[in-house]
Amino acid sequence: MGRPSDPGSLPLEPYRVKVVEAISCPSREARESALEAAGYNLFNLTSDQVYIDLLTDSGTSALSDRQWAAMMVGDETYAGSRNFARFVEVVRDLTGFPHIIPAHQGRAAENLLFSTLARPGTIVPNNMHFDTTRAHVLRNGAQAQNLAVREAYDPESPAPFKGNMDVGKLAALLEGSSGKVPLVMMTLTNNTGGGQPASLENLRAVSEVCHRHRIPLYLDMCRWAENAYFIRERETGQGARSIREIGRDLFALADGATMSAKKDGLVNIGGFVATRDAALADRLKEALIVFEGFPTYGGLARRDLEAMAVGLLEATDLDYLSHRVAQVRFLADRLKAAGVPFFEPVGGHGVYLDVRRFLPNLSRDDLPGQALAVEIYREGGVRTVEVGSVMFGDGESPNNGESPLELVRLAIPRRVYSASHLAYAADAVIRVYQRRSSVGGLRMVHAPEHLRHFTARFAPK
């Protein structure tokens, strides 16, 4: 049964612990010197320098006993492994897409799709491009356009589906230049914009506009089960349906999808592209063989395909999803009680601090999101990530390096941390908030050209 999530109530785990991994908090001096050595980029920290790691929910899930058992039946045949057959059966059953092309992670799936479909002069619309998606669109010479609804950019709007696409803007774009649009994408949930869901109703309208112009609609389905959970919770008439039923409706509206199974596939590595288009599937497989490997393993060990097949199903379990969302709300409730500003309503995989309200004294040139992430690590050994001008302001973006949102994400890994871990992380953020006027800005001293947030280096101003 789902758990009630009254404000402040403990998220009750629908699992118990079978294996443990030791963690400890480095001393304040150790954290200070780690920051300096890392060039104030938290991607450069090692795991033993971090106590609670909320950098990402990607590939950081704890596997279930059933997934570990599944790995033991890995059939490491180069071609035609039985694990591939089982993996394809599960993905076809969940999505209804006939052609399934495995890849080692989401961006590998994106590489296959965009290197095949995107060309210079073309435009790819999305509710909001995730960083790697945008990088693949740009790398292939196309333009990446974000067409999310206006509320998606307002951290204080309580709208239930801030991941929706602005259908009017999409229709206008397709009226004018449908010949230039090889595909339309919808990211479920909208990771860049606070992990917000899109509604079934919105997806129906997007699908209708795309198909009127004979343009295929692809889903970035990384967090589709979390998105379906919010549809079940918030959309009229959906409350009694299962996640898989809602999923089948979502996928029926699309022509294909890319997936990082490191999110709602509950694995440490894995992904795929799925499509209804047989001719496209053949082209994707040609690219697959060059970049990833033979079509029955796609850059993965066959045991990984088996673990992914089990994880994709476990991620649709209502007890699991209720607990996951309750964890996010538990963290958010503690922050809210102390007045910490964050993107509302909270989404499915983490809390996104609203940096402009958290650090109003810092300007965009102070890289306030990065400065806040650094300060939270300094305070408690808690690692988070900037989702703002460092990640999106590299001058390749359509808005000249100005990120419309300035956020710091506390992403919650799946089935990993307890409520006390989350309470500890919340308290570290709260202490920084209470002394926020003492937080100084940063400047970038090394700025790589692509996906710079991963490797940039910073210094205090």
Ligand X SMILES: *Cc1c(COP(=O)(O)O)cnc(C)c1O
Residues that bind ligand X (CB under 6 A): 58, 105-107, 130, 132-133, 187, 191, 220, 222, 260, 262-263, 271
Please give the structure tokens belonging to residue 402.
């100005």
Residues contacting 189, CB < 8 A, separation 6+: 163, 195, 196, 197, 198, 223, 226, 227, 230, 347, 348, 349
Q: Shortest Cβ distance from residue 286 to ligand X (Å)?
A: 21
Q: Shortest Cβ distance from residue 161 to ligand X (Å)?
A: 16
Tell me how far apart the alpha carbons of residues 395 and 49 are, in angstroms, rounded to a whole number.
Answer: 32
Do residues 412 and 331 make contact, with C-beta atoms less than 8 angstroms apart? yes
Q: Shortest Cβ distance from residue 230 to ligand X (Å)?
A: 15
Cβ proximity to ligand X: between 270 and 441 the closer is 270
Tell me how far apart the alpha carbons of residues 367 and 355 are, in angstroms, rounded to a whole number.
Answer: 10
Q: Shortest Cβ distance from residue 410 to ligand X (Å)?
A: 15
Cβ proximity to ligand X: between 220 and 406 the closer is 220
Cβ proximity to ligand X: between 14 and 59 the closer is 59
Residues contacting 455, CB < 8 A, separation 6+: 41, 43, 446, 448
Q: Are strands 271-275 and 217-220 parallel, antiparallel or unpaired?
A: unpaired
Residues contacting 176, CB < 8 A, separation 6+: none
CB-based burial label for 80 (10 Å; 0-12, 13-18, 19+): exposed
Tell me which residue has its CB nearest to ligand X: 106
Cβ proximity to ligand X: between 70 and 308 the closer is 308
Cβ proximity to ligand X: between 107 and 334 the closer is 107
Q: Shortest Cβ distance from residue 187 to ligand X (Å)?
A: 5
Do residues 81 and 73 make contact, with C-beta atoms less than 8 angstroms apart? no
Angle at CA of residue 254, ends 245 and 169, nearest 5° = 120
Q: Shortest Cβ distance from residue 457 to ligand X (Å)?
A: 22
Three-state DSSP class for residue 363: coil
Cβ proximity to ligand X: between 366 and 394 the closer is 394
Q: Shortest Cβ distance from residue 423 to ligand X (Å)?
A: 26
Cβ proximity to ligand X: between 49 and 187 the closer is 187
Q: Shortest Cβ distance from residue 50 to ligand X (Å)?
A: 19
Cβ proximity to ligand X: between 5 and 95 the closer is 95
Alpha-carbon separation of residue 443 from 190, 363, 449, 457 (angstroms): 28, 12, 16, 9
